[in-house]
Amino acid sequence: MLPTMKRLFNSLHALTGRPRVRPLWDRYAAGNQRLAKSIARRSAAERLKDQREQAPEASRLLRSLAPLIIQGANGLEIQEHLLNAYLERGWRPMLVGYHGYPAAVPVSVNYGVGGVIPTDKPIPESALVKVELIAGTPVSHLAQTWTFAGRNATPLQLFMLDKARLALRKGIEPVRHGARIDTIGDAISKVLDENDLFPIRELCGYTMGAQRVEAPQILGYGLRGIPSRGTCMEAGQVLNIQVLAQRAQVRTRVRGEEGFQYYTGDRGDAVVLSVMVEVTETGHRLLTEFVD
């Protein structure tokens, strides 16, 4: 194990106060690498067929977390819930070991944007809780992030979540064969601008194929004054479209030397939503679903 990973596991132990019994890295990292190579050898048609069948289940698993979050479950409990669900379905938690990441399910609360390592710290009642489901079936990659409102989420938090949902719906509308990928970010930006929300520019969506994350990137914002240009979408592509929004135009900061955990620069709330979308000749097909 690399020295930085040893330090990270030690810090995780300090954060959770629990003994490090068979870390997730030891249980999953090597097997995840083997599965990733196996998925890459599959044909595009095999992967897409599997994603059409399996992706809706990813959304259902995220939906099953809502009662836990309302009840105040902590990040480790959320992670354990999804790990058990993966096991039942023959999926693997593909984030473990990905570029050195040590956890299976990032759980980012309030000003956490993404990649935050889950702990046993209770989730506050006034919270926006972002859960990242990143899994591998024997045939394909699945990925969806959703933000859940805590039991006593504030009106402003609920407003942000509602407008992020709208931005995601609008971002999906331009998806079709031959359309430029930039039009997705343009549509998302329009909703955010109209509601005094700002995109988080340091992170973005992506295309999913032989690898979970492939080019071209899918920006969650438009480039002001620059008409849509560049890469066009192609039928059969799977896009992971993401809306990442905050209340102020500030840079996202990274915590920790490993560079995994992202937070808003002003400690203001963030919302992240994503869906997997298949590009078709005449439009698009949602693979994952809106969780709420």
CA-closest candidate to residue 284, choices 235, 243, 241, 212:
235
Domains of the chain: 3-286 (3.90.230.10)
User: Of 198, 222, 272, 271, which is closest to residue 242 (Cα–Cα)?
Assistant: 272
Asked if residues 243 and 171 have their Cβ atoms less than 8 Å apart, the reply is yes
Distance from C-alpha of 130 to C-alpha of 107, rounded to nearest angstrom: 6
Contact (Cβ atoms closer than 8 angstroms) between residue 244 and residue 270: yes
Type of residue found at 180: R
Residue whose pair of structure tokens reads 């938090």 in the numeric block: 157
165-214 pLDDT tens trace: 999 999 999 999 999 999 999 999 999 999 999 999 999 999 999 999 99
Answer yes or no: are the C-beta atoms of 217 and 205 closer than 8 Å.
yes
Least confident interval from 12-26, 48-62, 277-291: 12-26
Phi and psi torsions of 27, nearest 5°: -80, -30
The pLDDT of residue 15 is 43
pLDDT band at 261 (very low <50, low <70, confident <90, very high): very high
Q: Enter the DSSP assignment of 232.
A: B
Inform me whether the pLDDT recorded for 224 exceeds 80: no
Q: Is the pLDDT score of 256 beyond 80?
A: no
Amino acid at the residue 71: Q
Which of the four pLDDT bands, split at 50, 70 and 90, describes residue 43?
Answer: very high
β-strand partners of 278: 238, 285
- Mean residue pLDDT across the chain: 91
User: Residue 249, SS3?
Assistant: coil
> What is the DSSP code (8-state) at residue 216?
E
H or E, element range at 272: strand 270-279
Position 231 scores a pLDDT of 93
- The CA distances from residue 277 to 189, 211, 217, 221, in Å, are 19, 16, 14, 18
Would you say residue 19 has pLDDT above 90? Answer: no
On whether the CB atoms of residues 242 and 177 are closer than 8 A, the answer is: no
